[in-house]
Structure 1
Amino acid sequence: MQKLIKVHTEDNVAVALINLEQGQKASLNGTEYTILKPTKAKHKIALVDFNEGDKIIMYGVLVGKASQTIALGEVLTTENVKHQSAEVHKKTGDIGWNPPDISIWKDKTFMGYHREDGQVGTANVWLFFPLVFCENRNIEVLKEVFEKELLFEEANKHRMLLRSLVNNTSEEAIVEDEKTRVFENIDVKFITHQGGCGGIRQDSESLARLLAGYVNNPNVAGATVLSLGCQNLQIKIFEDALKAINPDLKKPIVMYEQQQMGTVDDMLSAVIKDSYEAIKKANEIERKPAPISKLRIGLECGGSDGFSGISANPTLGHVSDVMAAVGGTAILSEFPELCGVEQELVNRCESEEKANKFLGLMKAFEKSVVDAGSGFDMNPSPGNIKDGLITDAMKSAGAAKKGGTSRIKDILDYGEYVTESGLNLLCTPGNDVESTTAMAGSGANIILFTTGLGTPTGNPVTPVIKVSSNSELAQKMDDIIDFDTGPVIRGEQSIDEMGNTLLDFIIKVASGEIQTKAQKLNQSDFIPWKRGVSL
């Protein structure tokens, strides 16, 4: 069995594919190496002798420097390696692209929900949300009412356990009323948040753009919006944000302002009556065939491990390249996790203007982090480090593989909506939920989420497909993992083969044939990025 893998021909480190013992021999490309210290799978082994200050290369890019002498065959750790990445100032050239063979994909379709503006949804959601946190309680009340009376979802086993304890009987003796969903073609989802007031005006405007993006998302049929009345995020600010994204939006939106309506009971009664009628009409929309070029796929990673950049992320990269080749869209976010690969990315940008926008956003983001007393080099989490991602640049070089090799068509700041097909870069934090929240707000109708450690993230309006980097995780946490790329690590499938299998799976999810694990768990995470301060 292969014990080591070298990702790029220029690398001076290799990745351990299995746990290696001190003194064990491991061959790589005809050379035999002696392992000097116990090395866990996913960690890196020095392929040369490093002196203090020497550059460490992985994925063909600078990912760190030796902080002390590292002998050939020794494991890399946070004690002997420090973060370092190449400085980037401008676009220095153009990187060409050889598109993948799309003969099997060019005529593929999925069954989606067609909107009047030409977008196509992979889901059909009626969305409830507040403009300000003061309305969160009312949203929660509506959530309980609509979920119980419209969805009649199967009883949670933990709720059944509690009911059996209250009734002093066995769980088997507890029988739920046999009810079915009232509507088959519509889901009802609810968002709460802590914004809309109390911070700087820019935060409220940013939240307005994000919420407007959710309403415009092709997976959303319409929305119920609650406002208190006196908050920073006024209804007009939200309406202006909607017009900026889609001046001719025809989706039904019902809005209520509590301070204009009197009692909570009066407002909620009106909300329930009006929303029910709108939901009933939205239920009439049915799935119809659409070309896969109508897919907008968000690319995310969270709880990454040392295999993520070798199996799961490159698999997403193949999907991204296929989407670009057929005229579809991919969205790569998490700017802190692109630190160290900026030169390649700016040289893949369609124009110097796009390259400069990307560098400007990266530098402004990093400056804000430094001003707060931290830095991008603090990005790897304890879980990342434990599983072999010991520097930010090392983590970033693997994370960037999700974006494949295609040309970069557009650069989006947080809250901007996708208008260009092909690969888009979206400025978000590396935080999983803040990033997935932003991608749905920018129009993603499917999100692919790679993980090596296990992350339960989902989204209120966009199906999130969880892709594991290794089979052990897929087996251990099969309640949250949808797709396993472990066969790549074992040499059983190539990246292209695994990517094609994943794209088949995506089409089934987009068509409603398969529910993601996050959907089954009703995992609907929503965290806006708060860029400003509180006043």
Structure 2
Amino acid sequence: MTPFIRLHPGDDVVIARGQLLGGTAVENVTARGLIPPGHKVATRDIAPGEPVRRYNQIIGFAARAIAAGEHVHTHNLAMGEFERDYAFGADAKAEPPKRDATFMGIRRADGRVATRNFIGILSSVNCSATVARAIADHFSRRSNPAALQDFAQVDGVVALTHGTGCGMDTEGLGMHILERTLAGYATHANFAAVLVVGLGCEANQINAWLAHSSLREGDTLRVFNIQDAGGTRRTVEKGIALVNAMLPQANRVQREPCGVSHITIGLQCGGSDGYSGISANPALGAAVDILVAHGGTAILSETPEIYGAEHLLTRRAVSREVGEKLVSRIKWWEHYTKINDGEMNNNPSPGNKAGGLTTILEKSLGAIAKGGTTNLQAVYEYAQPVAAHGFVYMDTPGYDPVSATGQVAGGANIICFTTGRGSAYGCAPSPSLKLATNTALWQRQQEDMDINCGEIVDGLASIREMGQRIFELVLATASGRATKSELHGYGQNEFVPWQVGAVM
């Protein structure tokens, strides 16, 4: 193998496969100094202000003269304005031939299919978070194994708490988002039943939330407040009693063959590096194409991390309306960051930059590879229910726990999470698969990673082969196979609804 990777003939840079020493031959030039793994090397002289291309797309502009063989990074590459050709629907294509496959899912009475079988304890407000956790802790298989010993078909009782629910406009955008998020979790197929605990005087009143969400109490959804129950101890006791009453019914499930059309994957990347857009992201995209061909759904998100690459998605939109909705969310983010004295290039993070990513343009071009190549069927706002099948988009922040929370609220029953730096993440009630972008990470943190996409960089597997392996792992996970993050107990602390607006 060559010591570098060229992604497109029109690129101005190549990517170091491993650490390059000064004097190493890189195509027709010589590396000037040390080039870290995953970082970029200029293959020609680039004048100040000239665009620099990777993936045959603009990733930034030369901040000063860059010599052939020089390391290209934050010291000599900067953001800049350029026109995007949205060309709505120009690259839309015929739907792929339909394929059939099954997994062992849990079919609910209303026809929805689950990949896990939890009981959930949701807090309406931060003030009820402690009692929600206390209720769930009583059923912990680690600290109190006897509590669930007769309920082998129940995956656990989990508390999903958050830091908001009050100090906010009861009619504002922040409240609407919180209500949507809680409703999505309260009705998620992976919950056999849900208990919602409030304080009683908060802005997010439970009765108002039920009405706004068209929800009603029943055997699988119970709600009450600390103030009505008589305080902390009585609330915890009442919550434990309610869960005990829910457990026998929740335990009466059996896995059965279900079509792949019932799988909805939330696509995430965190702790990205220079290999993300070369290995794990395009491999996940290949798996998404297979999933879509089987009738499944994949949700791409993280709007600040598609910025500058959104034109590649609008070209795949099934209609101009779908493409324009995505552009409108981009414009909203430009305004939102501006009024908060920020900018869209506030991303990448320090870890991303250490891994070789220089600008948000570069990061975005690699990030959208997770979405594969099929048509963009629909665009959703945060936590809206996803009704379309195929490849869709949901507007979320780039912060992984917030983004994935919105996807799960929308119906994602599995999360696929690529990482090059080694993100620590899991999700409840939807299992999360971790995809390593490079072999060094896999070897260092194998207990946290589910699959090594670094084999692509090493020349041991193709993107298509890795995509098939990811798809098969998704089916096994949807059928009940535990992920690494589930084995470590991740999931309850990663529920983070998007908090928008002033804290009052």
Q: TM-score, with normalisation over the residues of structure 2?
A: 0.95
1:298-348 Cα deviation digits (max 9, x unpaired): 110000111010000001101111122221100001000101111111121
Is 1:194 the counterpart of 2:194? The answer is no
1:195-249 Cα deviation digits (max 9, x unpaired): 1111222222311110111122221111011112211111133213432xxx799
Corresponding letter in the other structure for 1:119: R
- Please state whether the residue corresponding to 1:289 is helix, strand or coil: strand
Match of 2:290 in 1: 322
Change (3 A) 1:98 1:74: farther
Is 1:256 the counterpart of 2:221? The answer is no
Match of 1:370 in 2: 338
Change (3 A) 1:14 1:141: same
1:72 to 56, 68, 72: 68
Change (3 A) 1:241 1:42: farther
> How far apart are the structure 2 equivalents of 1:130 and 1:110?
32
> How far apart are the structure 1 equivalents of 2:218 and 2:242?
17
1:113 to 92, 95, 106: 106
Is 1:307 the counterpart of 2:267? The answer is no
CA contact (8 A) 2:286 2:372 kept: yes
CA contact (8 A) 1:13 1:58 kept: yes
Corresponding letter in the other structure for 2:482: Q
Count matched residues.
Answer: 499
Match of 1:143 in 2: 136
Change (3 A) 1:402 1:213: same
1:27-81 Cα deviation digits (max 9, x unpaired): 3xxxx32112211110011122100000111112111000100011111021110
Match of 1:385 in 2: 353
CA contact (8 A) 2:122 2:161 kept: yes
Change (3 A) 1:263 1:321: same
- Please state whether the residue corresponding to 2:71 is helix, strand or coil: coil
> How far apart are the structure 1 equivalents of 2:307 and 2:475?
32
Match of 1:398 in 2: 366
2:490 to 519, 523, 526: 523
Change (3 A) 1:486 1:89: closer
> How far apart are the structure 2 equivalents of 1:388 and 1:324?
31
> How far apart are the structure 2 equivalents of 1:37 and 1:352?
48
Corresponding letter in the other structure for 2:48: E
> How far apart are the structure 1 equivalents of 2:281 and 2:150?
40
CA RMSD, 1 decimal: 2.0
2:472 to 504, 509, 512: 504
CA contact (8 A) 1:150 1:181 kept: no
Q: TM-score, with normalisation over the residues of structure 1?
A: 0.89
Match of 1:132 in 2: 125
> How far apart are the structure 2 equivalents of 1:149 and 1:276?
18
Match of 1:163 in 2: none
> How far apart are the structure 1 equivalents of 2:12 and 2:449?
33
Is 1:357 the counterpart of 2:350? The answer is no
CA contact (8 A) 2:261 2:296 kept: yes
1:206 to 174, 177, 185: 177
Map of 1:37-436 to 2, 5 A cutoff? 37-84=33-80, 86-88=82-84, 90-97=86-93, 106-147=99-140, 152=145, 181-186=149-154, 187-201=156-170, 202=172, 203-243=174-214, 252-436=220-404
> How far apart are the structure 2 equivalents of 1:125 and 1:194?
22
Match of 1:461 in 2: 429
Corresponding letter in the other structure for 1:320: V
By how many angstroms is 1:462 displaced? Answer: 0.6
1:368-395 Cα deviation digits (max 9, x unpaired): 1122111111101111111110111001
Change (3 A) 1:417 1:85: farther
> How far apart are the structure 2 equivalents of 1:510 and 1:198?
39
**8-17 or 404-413: which moved more?**
8-17
By how many angstroms is 1:99 displaced? Answer: 6.4
